[in-house]
Structure 1
């Protein structure tokens, strides 16, 4: 192995570890939320802002990550991202209030938003085209392990140490990553740096913040309905303003030409709305197990393992299944199944045997994995080369935004049903959980109509009219 190959391999490990940190922190917090609530004198049913702040900040900054890396260089931006992520983790660990913790999670998310896109950009430029896909496959493996370990590791730390350690563990890893980045990360910069569409970016970011805060305002913040309505309206106005501006701008943040590709339009809308339901489950299920069924944090984390195992077990069947039945039929049926499975969590109770709960979680993980694979592929498969980079960036932003909206919507519904059922003679908490799961399942099932708009002739062989080869991720 020559020096170039050794440097490339070390770069892959550096990016892979950064990706692992990012995905781990996206899930490790979920099982710790009830313990955090007790420590911060808050209700465990109003802790969703801790999750939303992280995913929403990532969604906001992902569109700017490529331009920032081209402007300041991959080494400086990657190093800065690790420092910001580590500093945010330190602030999270020593946050005395929920507001401080939420702000610290936003700082942590700002660092996390840059890690994978900038690392992926460095790999793209360091490897020849024929080696890029195998390289990114290696980088993606720790990203699959992070969500698998996150809930269980978070629960173990809460039970045997304290919730502060789920953030403190990032400090030594981040510092080692910084040292490695100084040595291993190449400093690639853009050959030609176009002017950044700052106004368009601010409009898009404002729309995401307004709509997410409006949904979260129904839950943890207790906003009045008039305030929520105004925030939603302002968010929609910002989206409309961006759309009108992009139609006449010579170099918009995201070209409207993307939406001339039918599969991309359907896939993006489907990703946004279908992921609202399943994106809320990593938040809702551990909360249900601990608050409603009395599980310990560690036990609740262990119960999330079947979800990850089910998802990994069916990954290899995604491509053959789509080729057999086609994207349209696959996504319509599978979206309905995901919605039904989410709704079935309303049946979780102390009388349900544990093996049945684990089977239910494993089935959810399996069909959820098929859903993600098919949605990712149908969104990107027909994009022409000139739009691939922009489309992939928008797709990543939509994924993170839908997670934020999902947690905000579920938290808002849970708080609303808890308040509505407060006067019920029996304990209102189980009923509030049941109603929330039913609503999130219904929202997911309704999004099957979006995939109905895919062309019936798209048989899933990887080539639609005017398109190129599809790759299921």
Structure 2
């Protein structure tokens, strides 16, 4: 199988990468994780402002992910025809347009339109940021590009909750999209200053058939739609969901089977059959599943389980996840002396286990700053140790050629969309299941014959009477007690989820300690 040549690199005589190029790498990666994290954290307030139900809002996530997969698959194809500078500028321009539509939207259809356009422009940001590192000639200076890439990843994950909570706390959720537009504009300036414009000759460009591309787009949408619908129909119509997944899987199988024998395929899969790459992508998928699940569960635990205000919840999550930046500094110091990945992978999954164990032992008397913040810090360490280490070693066998590396990044980031969606859906289903079980068990105890129930109801009624509830005191006390039961059931369901996370962390740490592929 033949592969085309890549656009020219920065001249080898240059001793250090230009700051403008490094800034593009950093900002593109930052934008990728910042936009997904902020919108996930602020989902409930945005739903209220645009008048969308949870089902409708989750459909915007499906639409974004489906468009993202299609766009990522065409990233290299577009670069060959536009050149790096024009491709990045066009992507940023479309992303800014989508962000502007979201920022000015006051209805669900307008917001959906904006998110789809954002997906068209911004889906390939992470892929682009990583491949742009290879514009730096092979030398120790290339690791500088990796540093900027990983720093953007850590900063995006860490700052997203805090920035989103600030916007929500000031009753201005539109500020989320204004910030994204400003960062994208800055990236466009640096891209204009640093990226090459050369095109790939026509006879060396990869090919894309419209029917095959539509097969990929429709297949990914069907699978993602079924995953999204499982949050609502899993317990009532599993057959329908499996049918949709089957149709989507067939469409995607047709796409990947058809491109295997192509001389210049849209995605060169034949060159990606390396054990290190396959294991690395599996680790990435696990990280994205956990990232999606945690991004859903943590706000639920803070707001519905503990009654913590938005602004405080965002600050705590940002402070905790900022440990990822510290972990990355530790890695940069340690890598030149001890480059082996195994110790970082084991330490990362041990951190995940500690994160799960600490949060699985919470009580309703929890202290946020002493009980939850340290746990979130271990989550940040897990994300950086595992994701950064995996990023540095997964592509070792496929980075000999820019086109092969680009295809490897594209496939990994396409699968990441499925991983994130699966994480959100599975955590939602577990929360529904466990909260229902706990609510039933708790509600049984609250009956008129139970002295604790009678005592609490009487105390609440008296307190409400003193505060002017009057004749409605008894009914208000009953409603408040029911709300307390619901809150307690939600918190207990979250604790069950973190128990599963702890077990996963222990098992993965053991697996990483005995594996020999990344040592």
- TM-score bracket, normalised by the shorter chain, equals 0.7 to 0.9
Q: How many residues align?
A: 456
Residue 186 and residue 454 in structure 1: after superposition, are their counterparts in 2 closer, same or farther (change >3 A)? same
Indicate whether 1:33 and 2:50 are aligned: no
Q: Structure 1's 84 and 434: CA in aligned 2 closer, same or farther, altered over 3 A?
A: farther
Distance between the aligned counterparts of 2:513 and 2:273, measured in 1? 14
- 1:463 corresponds to: none
Contact 1:266/1:453, CA 8 A, preserved across alignment: no
**1:216 Cα deviation after fit:** 1.0
Return the alpha-carbon distance in structure 1 between the equivalents of residues 491 and 210 of structure 2.
41
Identify the range of structure 1 (282-291 vs 266-275) with the bigger mean alpha-carbon deviation.
266-275
Show CA shifts across 1:316-355 (max 9, x none): 5559699989767875785476367347535444312221
Give the corresponding residue for 1:132.
142
SS in 2 for 1:162: coil
Runs of 5+ in structure 1 lacking a partner? 461-473
Question: Aligned residue for 1:471?
Answer: none
1:162–1:362 distance in 2 versus 1, CA, 3 Å: same
Matches of 1:121 and 1:408 in 2, distance apart?
Answer: 30
Query: Is 1:399 matched up with 2:434?
Result: no
Match 2:116 to one of 106, 129, 149: 106
Provide the secondary structure at the position in 1 that maps to 2:311.
helix
> In structure 1, what is the Cα distance between the partners aligned to 2:422 and 2:502?
13
The question of whether the paired residues in 2 share the 8 Å contact of 1:57 and 1:110 is answered with: yes
Task: Find the counterpart in structure 1 of residue 94 from structure 2.
Answer: 84
Distance across 1 between alignment mates of 2:105 and 2:361: 36
CA offsets per residue over residues 187-220 of structure 1, 9 Å max, x none?
Answer: 2322431223555544444443222211211236
Task: Decide whether the 8 Å contact of 1:324 with 1:459 is kept in 2.
Answer: no
**Residues 332 and 451, structure 1, Cα contact 8 Å, conserved in 2:** yes
1:304 aligned counterpart, secondary structure: helix
1:69 deviates by 1.3
1:36-47 to structure 2, matched below 5 A, reads 36-41=46-51, 47=57
CA distance in structure 2 between the aligned counterparts of 1:164 and 1:246, rounded to whole angstroms: 42
Which residue in 2 is equivalent to 1:350? 364
Contact 2:354-2:378 at 8 Å conserved across structures? no
Match for 2:223 among 191, 206, 211?
Answer: 211
C-alpha distance in structure 1 between counterparts of 2:151 and 2:344, whole Å: 26
| Pairing partner for 1:165 from 175, 178, 194 | 175
Tell me the residue number matched to 2:352: 338
User: Which of 361, 373, 394 is the aligned partner of 2:376?
Assistant: 361
Given that 1:57 and 1:109 are in contact with CA atoms closer than 8 Å, whether structure 2 keeps it comes out as: yes
Does 2:392 match 1:381?
Answer: no
SS at match of 1:314: helix
Larger Cα-atom Rg: 2
Match of 1:298 in 2: 311
Contact 2:344/2:385 (CA < 8 Å) preserved in 1?
Answer: no
Q: Deviations over 1:137-162 (max 9, x none)?
A: 33543443233222111111111241
Q: TM-score, normalised by structure 2?
A: 0.73
Structure 1 residues 103 and 345: CA distance shift in structure 2, 3 A: farther
CA-based RMSD: 4.0
Question: 1:231–1:171: structure 2 CA closer, same or farther, 3 Å change rule?
Answer: same
Cα separation, partners in 2 of 1:402 and 1:459, compared to 1, 3 Å: closer
On the 8 A contact 1:71/1:190 being kept in 2, the answer is: yes
Is contact 1:219–1:411 with CA below 8 Å preserved after alignment? yes
Tell me which residue corresponds to 1:149: 159
Q: Does 1:227 align with 2:244?
A: no
Which residue matches 1:268? 281
CA shift at 1:17, angstroms?
3.3
Q: What is the CA–CA distance in structure 2 between the aligned matches of 1:119 and 1:363, rounded to whole Å?
A: 26
Corresponding residue of 1:408:
425
- Displacement of 1:163: 1.0
Per-residue deviation at 1:111? Answer: 1.3
Secondary structure of the equivalent of 2:101?
Answer: helix
